[in-house]
Amino acid sequence: MTLRNDHDVLIIGSGAAGLTAAIRLAETKRVLVLAKGEISGGSTSWAQGGIAAVLEPGDTFDSHIQDTMVAGAGLNRRETVEFVVENAPAEIDSLIKMGVPFNREADDDLHLTREGGHSHRRIVHVDDATGWAVQEALQRTAAANPNITMLPDMVAIDLISGRHVAGDKGEAGRIWGAYALNRVTGEVETVTARATILATGGAGRTYLFSTSPRGATGDGIAMAWRAGARISNMEFMQFHPTCLYNLEVKNFLITEAVRGEGGHLLIPAKEKGERGYRFMGDFDERMELAPRDVVARAIDHEIKRLGLDYVHLDISHQEPEFVKGHFPTIYAKLMGLGIDITREPIPVVPAQHYTCGGVLIDLNGRTDLKGLYAAGEVSESGLHGANRLASNSLLECFVFGGAAAQDILDSWNELDAPPNINPWDESRVTDSDEEVVVQHNWREIRRFMWDYVGIVRTTKRLERAQHRVELLQQEVDEYYGNFRVTMDLIELRNLIEVASLIVRSALTRTESRGLHYTSDYPERADRARDTVLVPRVRD
């Protein structure tokens, strides 16, 4: 069994949050970054939109804070919102110094776009592929630092806690690293460190339709829950209103900025060449610039009411060069599918897009467990509340990745070296000859979560989902106990854990707020309360 114990800090996840933390820590500490697949395989690379920051004359921190609070339906923690918003301009400066080529105006000022829920233009971007540009710059910077080691194809299984210490002498509520499956060798490795940062992203693949990458299976959330950390607000799953509807190309996101730059949502016209009915005015006076939860429910309502497969998003009324210049990636992708967005509308449907809940953290990125931090989509910091404001997500990664790193540096003397850890034990398991079980259960989870725990919910649907989750948990636990781990099995185990947390949280909330809309409780309660789930047993 391989033991990796030659690094000070372990970071699980190689996107914006993880690499930001790694770069800050590496000034004085040795850092190991684990990626489940390729280093660039996480959600950061997929981000089309941009990063929100107060940079325009006339815009203010108070305005950005207010927009975030309004989108979050009053559930945000104000101190968190203030912390993130006020640090945003400095984070943009850091990215510029790192080489991120943000779009500029003719006078070399940053080009700022506007997205739904924002009262000002405050979104910096790199065309419509900001995430990839950010990921590239972070990876380049990290790779140049000798104190940072980045390992791809390492699948974290479970956090190492007190119960894994040799001789049963471990400190309760303390995390020392993680066990991880090396996909190249097939061996489970023991990776120890004084501090561990979860930067594993969200749980989008719990749903049948999602804009998230294949690896977004809620790994960090599930691992933290099993280790004894509290999980908060998992009922708030954000559905992006506009995912491309195409039977062959799945999960291609049409960025919020298309609506921000004048795109209209239309009921498809009966005759080709005619312009359809612009319906958002029937739902919200902000039209297409309403927050995502409002737009997603409106589209879902019209699709179900009229029996449609999709609605149209149309920006063809803008000048062709304007469209090509602002959305080159989308233009090229859709042209390859026979859709010229300068002349015709885009067929779109909602899809799961972002996990607003997660591992509960404070302003330093600390979880309930000593030595364990979390940053980015895996966490619940209080920034997003009941609904994430567009382009606040990458910003959260930079701010909290940096905050976690700084707290580790400031409290280093409190983080003693790991004790002797028991190696991974697979003496009582065998290789599986029934992989079909894993694949079937994976598909079943995503299907019933989409049908029963989607954009519009009812108590009856949630109870049906809970029943299915309980049965599948028993089956998966038995399977996990008998066979050697594979990446698919690890992800299935985490998916069912996260599905259970989502359903439990949704059943707990007897109101409609933000992203959680239930027909049985359509009104918002007078007081905003977080849903906080506490593990039965803390280790």
The catalytic residue positions are: 292
For residue 249, give the amino acid letter: V
**Nearest 5°: CA angle at 262, between 260 and 268?**
115
Asked if 244 and 283 count as a contact pair (C-beta separation under 8 A), the reply is no
CA distance 260 to 116: 6
Sign, Cα dihedral of 112, 69, 17, 351: negative
Q: Listing from the earlier edge strand, what are the strands of the sheet with 3-4?
A: 3-4, 188-192, 177-182, 154-160
Q: What Å distances lie between residue 361 and 77, 174, 230, 374, 395, CA to CA?
A: 12, 15, 9, 7, 16
Phi, psi dihedrals of residue 506, rounded to the nearest 5°:
-65, -40
The token duo for 225 is 């829950």
Burial of 324 (0-12, 13-18, 19+ CB in 10 A): middle
- Residue (of 370, 389, 353) closest to 80 by Cα position: 389
- Residue (of 308, 312, 179) closest to 242 by Cα position: 312
Q: What Å distances lie between residue 180 and 2, 177, 218, 521, CA to CA?
A: 10, 10, 15, 42
CA distance 202 to 71: 19
Q: Dmax of the chain from CA atoms?
A: 75
